[in-house]
Structures are given as structure tokens and as C-alpha cells.
Structure 1
Amino acid sequence: MTSPGPISTRPVLSDMAIFAGVLILVAGVLHLLTAIAAIAGRDIFVVTEDQVFLVDVTAWGWVHLVIAVLFVGAGAGIVTGKTWGYLAGIVMAAISILDNFLFASIYPFWALVMIAIDVLVIWALARQLAIE
């Protein structure tokens, strides 16, 4: 008689969880790049006096830096299959949508791309939570 071998008790990650985990890690890196550019005071951000939301670009860079760190933490939780990672990912993606909505007046195309990534992350994580 053959033995079945070692049995793993670790949860199996679905394709959606892997997709969401990788996507949220990519979004974290993109937030980090935005933070570095904003904190360094690069001239790629257009700030005019007639904007709806007047923000200090350097302060906004620090906000993006905090979001980037939290995104990487949530991404680590997701790719290790932790339920708290899924919930943290949904919350962080929702916060990122709000952040990028306010950031859209400074750098509109980048903000819209980030919002699209955040919506995909929320969709994938909500679907994964519904399966469990």
C-alpha cells in the first residue's frame, strides 16, 4: 500500500488571489514611485491656482509613501493566503481610489490608471472572499 505523502494544511491560493496579490504589490510600487517624485519636488506635477483641490505636492508625496507601505503589507498578506490580507487589500484599494481622485487634478492620467488598478483589486479580492 502506498502512502499519499505529506498533506499540506496551508490554504490553496486561487488564481484570483494571486492576481489580486500581484496587482496590489504593483500598485504599491507605483504609489512608491509617485511618492518619490512628489517628495523630490519634480516638475512632472502641474499645480495651478484654479484647481478644485489645492494640495501641497510634497505632503501628497508623504501620503503616497504611507499608502505604498500599507499596500505592500496587504499584498504580503494576500499572497500568503491570510484573510486579513484580503480585507486589508480591499480597504487599502478603497483608500487609494479616494487618494487618486483627489490627486487627479495634479496628474490626471496616472490617477485614472491607479483608480482602474484599484477597482480590479477590489473586484478580485471581493470575489475571492465570496468563494471562501
Structure 2
Amino acid sequence: MIFSGAMAIFEGASAIAKDDVFVTTRNYAYTFDLTGWGWTHLILGILVVLAGLSLFRGALWARVVGVVLAGVSMVANFMWLPHYPLWALTLIAMDAFIIWALCAGPYRRGSELR
């Protein structure tokens, strides 16, 4: 989760720094300003990193917040698809894995069904 958040931070910082790095697709249903999307990804990435760091404490609230933030990140990256498809698809896959891992929970030895 920390790595996914760091990638979102880099994505947001690059969109804020240079709007001309990304390609804008015409006639896309979700058209937004790249600088605004940059700030959105930057803030979302920081929140994901903080939630990832709080998971080390093992708190249940951190897992719930992590699932919610990973879901929001998936939606944000879906809307980011026309600007940088490979990066967005990579982050969508990572967020899906994060949601699965947080919902599956930790494996405890001896808790399997017999």
C-alpha cells in the first residue's frame, strides 16, 4: 500500500509540474484539468501512504480506511486512463490486490479448517 501511494504521489507531482508531459484524449467522457488531477492524485497518494504506515499497528480501522482509499484510488486511476494508460492500469491492479489483501486478513497458524 505504501508503494502504491508513492506511485500516486509521483503521478500527481508530475501532473502538477508539467501539464505537457501527458497526452489529452479528445472526446473522453471524463475531461478534467490535469493540474487539478495532479493535486487529487498527490493528496490521495499521501493519504494512502499514511494508511499503509498505520497498518503496521494492526488496527482494524486502518484496514477499513485502506480498503476505502484503495477503492477511491481505483476510481481516480480509471478516470486517469486517457492520460497515462499503462501507469493507471498498473495502479488499478495494485489497488485491487490491496483490497483483496486487506479483506482477506492475516493468516493465523492453526486457524485453517480441518
Shorter-normalised TM range: 0.7 to 0.9
Contact 2:48/2:66 (8 A) holds in 1: yes
Q: Which runs of 4+ in 1 moved over 6 A?
A: none
**Aligned residue pair count:** 108
The residue correspondences of 1:45-56 to structure 2 (distance < 5 A) are: 45-56=22-33
- The CA distance in 2 between the partners of 1:42 and 1:56, in whole Å, is 9
The Cα of 1:130 is off from its aligned counterpart by: 9.3
- Deviation per CA, 1:13-42, whole angstroms, max 9, x where unpaired? xxxxxxxxxxx1001100110011000024
Contact 1:53/1:105 (8 A) holds in 2: no
Is the partner of 2:31 in helix, strand or coil?
A: coil
Contact 2:12/2:40 (8 A) holds in 1: yes
The residue correspondences of 1:1-132 to structure 2 (distance < 5 A) are: 24-128=1-105
Q: Higher Cα Rg: structure 1 or 2? A: 1
- The CA distance in 2 between the partners of 1:96 and 1:102, in whole Å, is 10
Whichever residue aligns with residue 46 of structure 1, its letter is V
- The CA distance in 2 between the partners of 1:79 and 1:89, in whole Å, is 12
What is the root-mean-square deviation of aligned Cα atoms in Å? 1.6
The Cα of 1:50 is off from its aligned counterpart by: 2.2
State TM-score, norm by structure 2. Answer: 0.88
Aligned residues with identical type, % of pairs:
36
Contact 2:5/2:45 (8 A) holds in 1: yes
State TM-score, norm by structure 1. Answer: 0.76
Whichever residue aligns with residue 84 of structure 1, its letter is W
* Structure 1 runs not aligned, ≥5 long: 1-23
Whichever residue aligns with residue 44 of structure 1, its letter is V
Contact 2:2/2:52 (8 A) holds in 1: yes
- The CA distance in 1 between the partners of 2:25 and 2:70, in whole Å, is 28
- Deviation per CA, 1:49-101, whole angstroms, max 9, x where unpaired? 32221111000000001101110111011122111111111000000010001
